[in-house]
Amino acid sequence: MDDAANTGISEPLDLVKLSLGERVFIKLRGDRTVTGLLHAYDAHMNVVLSQVEETIHIVDVTEDGNPLPPRIEKRNLEMLFVRGDGVILISPTQQ
């Protein structure tokens, strides 16, 4: 049955299509991740999300160059446009 479903999928982005309207997890360059409801995407992986939670992983460095333990900063956004060149991966959230 999986085959049956797969035959309709001809390119990678077809898989992203399956997540339309669903919550997705997106990993971004710059140590960021976002999760949100996928509204739209395009061939460049530009993405429009709503109910977004953005997570930024920050490693602060002391003056003498020693890294402090990483900390996480979060913020919530109503609606977000993510430019595709920053996208590393898109995956459906596990729930």
Partner 1 sequence: MSGFFGFDTSLPERGGQRGGGGQQQFSGFQASNVDETFALGGAGEEEDLAVYTWGEGGMGGGGLLEGGDELNDETFGDDLGEISNNFQFSSQPAPASTAKGKIASTQSRYKPKPVSDPFAFSEDDFYSSRPTKKTTTAKAPSRPKPPTAQSGSVENLWNKPAVSSPAWGTAPSSMTKPTPPPSASYPSQPPPGHIKSLEEIEAEMAQMAIPSTSAAAPTQQKVLSLEEIEKQMVEQIEPPRQATPQQPAPPREATPTQVPGLAGSGYASQQALLDSMFPELGKGPSSALGGSTPAFPPGPRQEGQPQPPHPPQPSPEELARMEELHKRITSKIQSMAKYNNLMGSSDKDFITRIQLSQLATADPYTSDFYAQVFSALKRRRMIAEGQGDGPTVVQVGAGMGLGVGGPVGNRFGKMGQNTMTKLSTQVKKLVENRAQHQKVTNTAALQGALGRVTRGNAAAPRPVLAIPTSNKPENRPASQLNQQTGIHRAALTKKQVMFALEELYDAILELEQMRREAPPPTAMEEIEIWHAKCQAKVDIIWRRLMVMEPLDISNPHPFISLINPIKGQKLFPRLLRHLPHTQSITLLSLLIATYTQLDVVSRAPPPPVADASLLTKADRLDRAKREAETDNFLQFVIPGVDMIINRCGLGLVAGMLAISAQRSEVWRVAATRPGVALYTALLSKAQSLIRSPTPDPMNPQPNQQVDPAELEQWSKTFTYFLHVLLPHLNDLFPSSVAQKAAFGPGAYLIGGDAVSDREGQEMERREAEVWGFVAVLAVNAAEEDQTNLVAALREKILHTVQSSRHPNVSPARAEMKLRNVNMFLNGLGLDASMIE
- Least distance in angstroms from the C-beta of 4 to partner 1: 4
Indicate whether 95 belongs to the interface with partner 1 (CB under 8 A). Answer: yes
Indicate whether 22 belongs to the interface with partner 1 (CB under 8 A). Answer: yes
- Least distance in angstroms from the C-beta of 43 to partner 1: 10
Count interface residues toward partner 1 (CB under 8 A): 14
Q: Which contacts (CB < 8 Å, 24+ apart) does range 46-50 have?
A: 46/81, 46/82, 46/83, 46/84, 47/81, 47/82, 47/84, 47/87, 47/90, 48/79, 48/80, 48/81, 48/82, 49/24, 49/79, 49/80, 49/81, 49/82, 50/78, 50/79, 50/80
Indicate whether 63 belongs to the interface with partner 1 (CB under 8 A). Answer: no
Indicate whether 79 belongs to the interface with partner 1 (CB under 8 A). Answer: no
> Looking at 15-23, 54-62, 63-71, 81-89, which segment touches partner 1 (CB under 8 A)?
15-23
